[in-house]
Each structure stands twice: as C-alpha cells, then as structure tokens.
Amino acid sequence: MPSPSPVPSRSGRGDRRSDFPGLADGWAYLDSAATAQKPGVVIDAIARAYGPEYATVHRGVYARSATMTERFEAARQTVATFINARSPSEVVFVRGATEAINLVANSWGNSLEAGDRILLSALEHHSNIVPWQLLRDRTGIEIDVAPLTADHRIDEDALEALLTPRTKLVAIAHVSNVLGSVADVTRIAAAAHSVGARLLVDGCQAAPRIAIDVQASGADFYVFSGHKLYGPTGIGVLWARSDILDAMPPWQGGGSMIETVTFERTTYAPAPQRFEAGTPHIVGAIGLAAAIDYVNTIGLGTIDAHERALATQAREGLRQINSVRLFGPENSAGIVSFALDGVHPHDIGTILDESGVAIRAGHHCAQPLMTVLGVPATARASFAVYNGSDDVDRLLDGMRRVTRIFG
C-alpha cells in the first residue's frame, strides 16, 4: 500500500514530530489513545499562563485578573466553536470525561426512578459504565447493553430494538478506545429521541481526530478530555444543550457556583458556572484552547486520514505475522488492537519497549469488552499526528522479535 502522506509541520519538515518535545529520537510512541504527547505551543501557553500571566479568574478587580478571566472565557469560546455549540454557556469545564459523565449521572440522573432504563454498548469504557451502575444502585434503574457486530462495531439495529418507552438515556462511545470503531451518532440520536430518551456521547477518542458538530449530531450530552487532544491533563469538557443544563441541579457546592449564600438558603449561578465549583483549572483551559488551535491549523480531516492510513498499514503488516489475531473493523480510526496466541499482551509490551516501541497492553478500562472478544487483554497501538510509517515499521519489527523469542 502507499505510505501515508506526511503532515506538514510549522518547522517546514515533512512531519509533525519536531513539534513535540517529548518525543525522543528513535522512540515510537504508539499510546496516544491513553494520552497524547504535547506540542511545544501548548507547553509554551501553559508556561506563560503559570508564569508572567498568572492570576485568578472571576474574582479579582485588578488588571491581570481581568485579563486572565478574558483568556479563560476565550478558551470556553474556543471549545464551543470547536464542537459547534450554540453558545459558550453550553460548555462546562471539568477535570475530564470521567468527571463529566459522573456529573451527568449525579445531577441529571437523579431525576430517574426505579424501572427507568439506561442503554449502553458492549464496547464502553469503564467511565461510561460504572457511574450508571452507581446510579442504578441508588435509584433502582436498569441497564441494558447493545451487542457488537461481527467486525466489532456497535450493532445499531440491535440497539434500536432494545429501546423502550422506559429508556431514558443512551450512552455510547463515539470512537472505541480499544477497537477504533466509529458509531453513527446521528442515527443513534434519532433512535433515542424516538422513544423520548437522551443521548450521551463519550467523545474522548473522537475529539483528536473527527470533526464534532454537536448540533448536527443530535446528541444531548457530549464529553471529552483535554489530554487525549494534545492538551494538558486535569481538564475536560461537558457539553449539553442549554435547556438541559438549565434544568439540572448543581452536583458540587462551593465558591463560584453561587449567587447568594445564607445559612438558611443558597441560590445558584446559571450554567455553566453552576457546575464549576471552586477555583477552576485556569491554566488547563488555556492549554486546551492552545491544543485546539494547534489541531485546527492541521485540520481534523487531514489528521483522521493520516491516522487511518497508519492503522491500515499496521493491520496489513500484523496480519502477515503468524498467530496474530486482530480486533476491530478494517477501517478503524487510528487504533489497532491485537493479540498473539500463547503470549500475554504485557509480555508483548515489555519486549516492544526494549525495541523502543511504546504500546498499551491490558484491558484498556474495558473489561466487559474483553469478555466479548474472548481474551483477558489485548495489545493496542494507537496513532497520532506525530507518527509516521517508520513507527509502524518499528512496531512490526518488534512483533517479529516477539515471535522469535516465544517461538
């Protein structure tokens, strides 16, 4: 197959690797689905925000605080534009997608009652399973699970068949963190709405590579984490339609999320401030905005095509190695999971590390999916804008070494 076209960099080189200070020469970093490396522009933005620009937001009357408040709220606008939200007031800053889903479960979810149902899929991350189980234990709701197709996509026909008038929420991953399969969010949204249910989308793996249009998608909630989008850890996004946010009670109490407080009664600020108790992760939001700006200079379409080409190259090469089993669809979105008969994925990961190749090995916070796949764990290579064909070649060379070691 033809090699993927290099993604032009600001430095003029034919690839983006030089934009990332954390990428040592000779190191193939193939664990971006866990967390992406950070470009220099993001690191610089964080350093400035923690250094000569630092101040609190929303409270100070002095000039630097006002400037920092403007930058913080400009970051909210950057996120809103990135996902095509109607207004920045629909964007809630949280610590990550995990906190965003827990926020929905603990605020919106408290309106549910025994007998109501939530529909998940078999490929969900633990962060999109456990919060709903905790809600089930509190309220008596029930959880349904849509199966997968033979090529490891969400079976959308089966999902639709599981919907009932008692279904109040469908919660699915836009892109599987194990399989790279992409859900038809628009179709699932229409199906959910046909029975009066809401749709929550886990966009952690989609945000770094697929253009997100929350209005066109029909989603009611959309969540993602900054650190998978080339931004810092500790910052994430919950988007929800304004009418839904306005009807949701606060989840956490403290400063910033109030209008007035007395010992007798407290009134709360409107969304999104109602859901951002305490001093926010100011620098995290600024770093996330810098990461979005960086991605936008390249173009998500370019990134997605580049990563899919690398994933295809990896799948074709791995298929030539005896006893390798591949998971997920052929056209996966930049993520390839595999297993080698008789070899634990942790051993694969250790030997590859000795060869300068970093992959993830384990259940990937998706233990129910491992049961469906019939394995305890998988090895996973995940690609990003800074990877190239040479990284795939190193992976394949390393896997051939694994087979030699284990016979």
Distance of CA 65 to the CA centre of its chain: 31
Contact 85, 134 (CB under 8 A): no
Residue type, 152: H
What SS3 state is found at 198? Answer: strand
Give the residue among 70, 68, 72 at the shortest CA–CA distance from 51: 68
Q: What angle do CA 66, 70, 73 make, to 5 degrees?
A: 135
Structure tokens at 120: 């998940």
- Give the CA distances from residue 115 to residues 16, 111, 145, 164, in Å, rounded to whole numbers and listed in that order: 51, 12, 16, 11
Provide the H-helix boundaries in 29-177.
40-50, 63-83, 97-106, 130-139, 156-162
Choose, from 41, 358, 365, 370, the residue flagged as catalytic: 365
204 is catalytic: no
Task: Tell how strand 142-146 and strand 167-173 pair up.
Answer: unpaired
For residue 309, give the amino acid letter: A
CA 291 to CA 285: how far, in whole Å?
10
Sheet with strand 335-340: strands edge to edge:
324-327, 335-340, 378-382, 360-362
Separation of alpha carbons 381 and 345, rounded Å: 12
Which residues are identified as catalytic?
365
